[in-house]
Structure 1
Amino acid sequence: MTAPEPFKMLCSYAYFRVKRMDEFLGSLPGGEASMLFGDSGAHSARTLGIHLTLEDYAAWCRRWDDQLTVYSNLDVIGAPEATYRNQKRLEAMGLQPLPVFHTGEPWYWLERYLDEGYTYIALGKLLGNPVKVVTPWLVKAFRLAEGRAVFHGFGMTVWELLKTFPFYSVDSSTWGRGFRWGTIRLFDRGRWVLVRLRDRAAVLRHRDLIRKHGYDPVILAHHDTYDRAAMGGLCAVAYHRAEAWLRARHHPVGVPSGVHNPFRCDPAGVPAGLHLYLADATTHWLLRAATGVHRYDHPPTTRE
């Protein structure tokens, strides 16, 4: 029997710059084993009016190096030369961030990263593009990188694309949004099932699937028994199950060896993908997610 996958989360500097990441990880069940992806959150910083500097981001990555599994470059959307300069400046500071390549940028930049020996590259600006547009773009990216590098897909949760392309890792910031509008997505053998909350008939139809996620259907069925706090855990378990299904579909995806190693150890010792990181701006929803996944992987009683 294989060991359970660690809980995986993406934390943006824009939201977590003043948090003590060691204390936060220590508060999670099985926290020390968690995988933590660090992201600059440059877009969020602009939205929030936060002045983000390369030096401050570098200091954050350096301070929490023991907690961060991996972290990405401070990218500049629409300015690949500036993104490349940031990559080299961070490396000059002793850091090893993931380079970032965006849709709409010249292919020269992805080819340059590949030629320079980067074996784990983040793909950005995937959201907002129609599937029929991003699909041929991904086909070319994966063809260029075949045998040389693996990809992280920022915000990549389009199910048809995840089934098609063997990403090493992706992240989702929408994993826990559905229940806030009265529905929840559960995962069942390769497909997503939408369940209306506080709808006893709908919950009854899907009671067995809810139990397979490790939860009592009663907490979803009625206003009097509804447990909002538990929904974060249930949503996380659904993505945890989807991650396992995708990993089995594409088989383990490993990071090739190369000149630029973003990990503190030999890539051969890093768990094979797919890795699906859950992103959120707050610690309490990530705590609920981690609690749900830990409970699912370590049930108090054996589920059928």
Structure 2
Amino acid sequence: MLIAIEDAVEECLFMTVVSDDRYPFDPTAVSSDRPLPLYLQLADHLRQLIVQGALADQDVLPGEREIAERFGVSRVTVRKALQILAEDGLLDQRQGSGNFVNRGKRVEQPLSALTSFTDDMRSRGMRPASQWLHRGISAATPEEALALGLRPGEKVSRLRRLRTTDGTPMAIELATVPCRFLADPEIVTESLYEVLRGAGYPPFRALQRLCAVQLTADQADLLHVPAGAAALLIERRTFLEDNTPLELVRSQYRGDAYDFVVELNLSGATRESGGSRPSSENRS
């Protein structure tokens, strides 16, 4: 009886939604000719539509019956695909209401201030955390030696981690610090900057370079987005007050979760003269 009611309700949804072809589904994205199970193919296709913005935040998906009809698969396949997306946090499954797109919270970070990821997230009332991918000491690469003003072969501490906010993966970060400033990378548990300040090496200023990149399969897997998804690569060199290089960081930030904001002043404008202070928001 319950199944019959569910089918009847879903049939009504199908009749009202199928004529409204507003869902950018591509039936060719799911095929039995591919080795990947159908439910994983469907989940990957829907995930890509969500991440790329083709399905907007809080959009409600059509019922299982219509999705099954669109892709030529069973409702069991659809249900398994939707469950995967729900577990990944990309869908809110509301009893009696349907499946709603959840693109997650976006974080705005100003580029005018030098703050750590931990400090920045805490200041917003969010819960930062890290998953350590690597902590160790080894010889600096030629690129690292040049950026940090080191002798060839000088030892550096490397800290690679997945940065999360309220449980959502946000960035992959690789920080490289000369061992004379950080002799033991294992002592860093949360904020690297807190450890450096405590050791008497407070970060003073930084130079950053930003560029758009596509994530590799391994990077995308860590960030819970499709392989090849857009991301923002940030390379930062941090200095002590006497201009001694302190840190080199390379980070890949999720393009669907981070907004970097820059305030720009008109050349020659001053507060005293009443010059305007336009701002520019750069979205990754």
Bigger radius of gyration: 2
Q: Say whether the fold is shared (TM-score over 0.5).
A: no
Q: Which has the higher contact order (CA 8 A, sep 6+)?
A: 1
Higher strand share: 2
User: What TM-score do you get using the length of structure 2 for normalisation?
Assistant: 0.25
TM-score (normalizing by structure 1):
0.24
